[in-house]
Amino acid sequence: MKAGGLLVTILLAAGTAGAQEYLSCQFAPGWVQAGAKRQYGADNLFEYKDGAAEGYLSFGFVRMVGISCKRGRDTLDIDVSEMKDPDAAYGMYAVNSDPTAPAAKLGMGGQVQWQSASFAKGVYYVEIVETAADTDANDTATMQAFATAMEKRLDGRVTPPEALGWFPKEDLETVRVVPQSVLGLSELKRGYVAKYKAGQAFIVPEASPEAAAASLASVRKQFDDAASAQVGDESFTAKVKYLEGICFFRKGRYVGGYANMSDPQEAAAQAKQLAAAIP
């Protein structure tokens, strides 16, 4: 091999080794690696995740690397999934998190429990799951140690998607990232849906104002009784089956609105608040 080719090979190997430093069984005492590191792509993830693979793929899964660690009769499986962008990584974390469990200060969002931990940072979604001989054992310290050490070694954004902060807080119950077909409408790709005590709101980012206008126009064609409204740059209201009173609007490159309200006028009133919060 020529000197130049050898240098490139060495540099690539060094870069790969550095990228894998967050995968280690030595972040807590007593754990040793069991078996080789594993790696999966979109084409073979089902071999590892079986029926759950589709959920990963829907959020723009790119690849996964992982290891298993042993401590006596206990096993720890650590998997790091790289998603197509930080919002997808956060969405993957959010959809798999426990809404009843406390949050941990890890990346864009995280949780640490007795025998598991998870978080999202940058384009990475991290899962740490222990299979303990004592199923009632509280191993929170181990979970925290692994999660903290890994979070420090992963690069990327540590703030949740900005759009999550645009939803009105009053009577807000949950906010989640929907990977596709927001409100069951194929025209509305990946977006954010907030559930309230009454109704639900949504925001769908598009590549440009023109793309957002095209999406809104396509959606409007589905509602025969759609009437123009005064929300954002353009909007309409309607009363439809399943979604009840709705108001959809466009503001810049975002399509947003309210659904499942008692009537279209109430949906429009709430939509105005949401549109005002979008920069």
Indicate whether 1 belongs to any domain.
no
CA distance 268 to 121: 36
pLDDT score of 278 more than 70: yes
Indicate whether 205 belongs to any domain.
yes
Do 231 and 264 belong to one domain?
yes
**Overall number of domains in the chain:** 2
Do 258 and 173 belong to one domain?
yes
Do 115 and 92 belong to one domain?
yes
Do 22 and 130 belong to one domain?
yes
Indicate whether 139 belongs to any domain.
yes
pLDDT tens for each residue of 75-124: 999 999 999 999 999 999 999 999 889 999 999 999 999 999 999 999 99
User: Can you give the residue range of the structural domain that contains 170?
Assistant: 162-277
pLDDT tens for each residue of 199-247: 999 999 999 999 999 999 999 999 999 999 999 999 999 999 889 999 9
Least confident of 19-28, 163-172, 186-195: 19-28
Do 74 and 171 belong to one domain?
no
Task: Give percent above pLDDT 90 in the chain.
Answer: 90
Do 40 and 77 belong to one domain?
yes
Indicate whether 148 belongs to any domain.
yes
Boundary of a domain, candidates 153, 183, 213: 153
Contacts 24+ apart (CB under 8 A), 19-23: 20/65, 21/153, 22/80, 22/149, 22/150, 22/153, 22/154, 23/65, 23/66, 23/67, 23/78, 23/80
Q: Structure pTM?
A: 0.84
What confidence category does residue 20 fall into, taking pLDDT thresholds of 50, 70 and 90?
A: low
Do 169 and 114 belong to one domain?
no
Do 34 and 105 belong to one domain?
yes
Indicate whether 7 belongs to any domain.
no
pLDDT tens for each residue of 52-78: 999 999 999 999 999 999 999 999 999
Do 144 and 210 belong to one domain?
no
